[in-house]
Structure 1
Amino acid sequence: MTTMVTTTPVASRTGWTKYAALLAKVALFVLLLTAFIWPDLSGIKGKASTARLVVYPIGAMVLPLWWFAYGRAKSKLHKTFPWHADLLLTLPWLGDLIGNRLNLFDTITWWDDAMHFVLWGFLTAGALTAFLPRGLSRGLTAFVALGFGVTAAVIWELGEYVAFVRHSAELQTAYTDTLGDLALGTLGALLAGLIVHRVRREASTVA
């Protein structure tokens, strides 16, 4: 009876995150397909749309590809595919596409700032959950989160600059905007690290 009580919530949570991750991927690829077919309606026209059509599917499929090529046989961190991490790693790409499709980045002044904070939190939490060994201290988890999050944020800003910022009207304010984006991405990554550590600590206490 005790085994049933402790394992059922875990199985239920795994089932929910599995379907949520799959739904997020389907939504992402539908939006990418519509952006390819009807670029004028995508919201990403003139915003490195070609690069996004390449990078976003790769970003969403990194974990499944890693798992089936390597992790399933050799991962010491996960016995089954980590759907919760997969969902977290898919949400940033999906969130960005939805925001652009609905024109939220250009119509709501604080939307871009919020997305850099929130989506970088999702991305970092997903990476930590998927690949970071358990049992690390809070400080070390935070340092790893910052190392991943800040590096990813810098790569993103460099990509944006090369892809479209240097040829757009945004160049005049790009420096200030980039500094703000990097700061918010850093804070989002740090918060993600602290949350991942706390969730894992509480899970180990319950176990």
Structure 2
Amino acid sequence: MRMRGVALAVRWLAPLSALLTVLFSDTVGAAVMMLVCLATTIMWRARLPAVLEVTTNLVLLVAAWSSVFLLYERFAHWDLVVHCAATAVLAELALRALERWGRLRAPSAVAHVAVITSLGAVLALLWEFVEFAGYALVDPRVEVGYLDTMGDLAAGCVGSLVIGGLGYWARRREGTSARVPAGVAGKTR
């Protein structure tokens, strides 16, 4: 019950952050924070485990505030840390969504890690497309280039690989596996 209270408090950080950036930051910072609000709402409505919801919300808030406070420009490898962490939690969310929609059954250890790493690679690639669009359409100060893109993709894949292994271990430790929604178990594809 206590973790649910923490989740509720963290949920409110997103709209508060959006309000603060609207009042005290630029349009780009406010837009980024609005995206975090959207993600927070989606995670709340998805009824995720509280620990996953809190972790994901905090990672996305750190990523957004890092942009507002120009931490990516100030610290050489901060971008890689954020790509690693954010891609990891988003890949885990994507896996949970596939399970909930009945598109994925409880995978073996190797398959679990492979699926999350693959999801992370796709998400990292999409993130890079969005970064390039931000550079081309919104703000030419957005860092793009071959080395930046390859580093970001590698960080996202590493984060997904790590969370794949940790996620499988955590599920086995809890004695749970991927839930197969009712009515899906008997279906053939």
Work out whether residues 18 and 33 of structure 2, in 8 Å CA contact, stay in contact via their aligned partners in 1: yes
Which residue of 187, 191, 194 maps to 2:162?
A: 191
Cα distance in 1, alignment partners of residues 22 and 79 from structure 2: 23
Q: CA RMSD in A?
A: 2.6
Match of 2:186 in 1: none
Q: Could you give the per-residue CA deviations for residues 101-155 of structure 1, whole angstroms, max 9, x where no partner exists? A: 4432221112111111122223223444565467421111112202321111111
Moved more, 126-135 or 16-25: 126-135
**Count, aligned residues:** 171
CA pair 50-34 structure 1, distance change in 2 beyond 3 A: closer
Question: Which structure 2 segments of 5+ residues have no match?
Answer: 177-189
Q: Could you give the per-residue CA deviations for residues 19-51 of structure 1, whole angstroms, max 9, x where no partner exists? A: 2222222222211111112224xxxx6xx4354
CA pair 199-91 structure 1, distance change in 2 beyond 3 A: same
Match of 2:80 in 1: 113
CA pair 36-200 structure 1, distance change in 2 beyond 3 A: same
Which residue of 64, 69, 72 maps to 1:97?
A: 64
The residue correspondences of 1:75-90 to structure 2 (distance < 5 A) are 82-90=49-57
For the pair 1:39 / 2:39, whether they are aligned, the reply is: no
CA pair 58-170 structure 1, distance change in 2 beyond 3 A: closer
Match of 1:30 in 2: 16
The residue correspondences of 1:1-207 to structure 2 (distance < 5 A) are 15-40=1-26, 48-49=28-29, 51-67=31-47, 82-129=49-96, 132=99, 135-164=106-135, 168-169=140-141, 174-204=145-175
Query: What letter corresponds to residue 65 of structure 1 in structure 2?
Result: R
Query: What letter corresponds to residue 157 of structure 2 in structure 1?
Result: T
Q: Kindly state the Cα deviation for residue 189 of structure 1 after the two structures are TM-superposed.
A: 0.7
Cα distance in 1, alignment partners of residues 72 and 30 from structure 2: 19
Work out whether residues 134 and 200 of structure 1, in 8 Å CA contact, stay in contact via their aligned partners in 2: no
Q: Identity of counterpart residues, as a percentage?
A: 22
Higher helix share: 1
Q: Could you give the per-residue CA deviations for residues 130-185 of structure 1, whole angstroms, max 9, x where no partner exists? A: 654674211111122023211111111111111225752556x5221011101100
Cα distance in 2, alignment partners of residues 96 and 120 from structure 1: 11
Work out whether residues 117 and 188 of structure 1, in 8 Å CA contact, stay in contact via their aligned partners in 2: yes
List structure 1 runs of 4+ shifted beyond 6 angstroms: none
Please tell me whether Structure 1 or Structure 2 has the larger radius of gyration of its CA atoms.
1
Q: TM-score, normalised by structure 2?
A: 0.76
Cα distance in 2, alignment partners of residues 64 and 165 from structure 1: 32
Q: TM-score, normalised by structure 1?
A: 0.70
Question: Which structure 1 segments of 5+ residues have no match?
Answer: 1-14, 68-80
